[in-house]
Amino acid sequence: MKLQQLYIEDYQDVIRNGILSQQDCGFYAILPRNIVYKGIGEIDEQYCQEHDFQVYNSVDFGGGIVGFEGDIVIVIVKHEGWKIGESFMQKLNEYLKQHGLNSSLDGNDIMIDGIYKCASCSSVNIGNRNIYTGIQITFNADADIIKHICKKESVKIPKGLNKYNINNQDVLQFVFDHFNPKSQMIIT
């Protein structure tokens, strides 16, 4: 599956179009600014406005998901097959281990040292059919800011991969190689 660059403002349209067209598609973005995906749960929208976080509404999950400038977001719409996110997270975990991190899978998250969350995957399913999968890889997480924004208490402590000298360009190349084998990615 070929990944295409996504402008984060268009993510809901991209998902809708992929589902309606019944064509498999994949998209990625390096977040150009701080954002919050607002799910069913509460977030502090005033704090978001005061601190220049763009808020996107989504009813696909509870709570809120905070993304920071430089984080990688991947959206996959795949009509056949199952657990594409789980498969990718296993490969990403292996990649992080190869780069010296003590990483492990914990449900739909990748944890470092069993304490810090650096990546998460969420799938929207109907019955046993995957509708789409969203993956976020964190590079610049700030746990204090997340505590201000999200009303729901975090169980896992977020920590960006930049703290471990792993940058988003190298991980994006890994992402691209995973979804676009035998291709060369041009990062602009």
Average pLDDT, integer, range 113-124: 90
Domains (ranges, CATH) in the chain? 3-179 (3.30.930.10)
> What gap in Å lies between CA 51 and CA 168, rounded to an integer?
23
Average pLDDT, whole number, for the chain? Answer: 84
Strand stretches in the chain, DSSP E = 3-5, 25-30, 35-38, 54-57, 64-67, 72-77, 103-106, 109-112, 116-126, 129-137, 157-158
pTM of the model: 0.86
| Model pLDDT, residue 186 | 44
| Model pLDDT, residue 148 | 87
Q: Is the pLDDT of residue 64 over 60?
A: yes
Select the highest-mean-pLDDT range: 19-23, 36-40, 162-166: 162-166
| Model pLDDT, residue 61 | 60
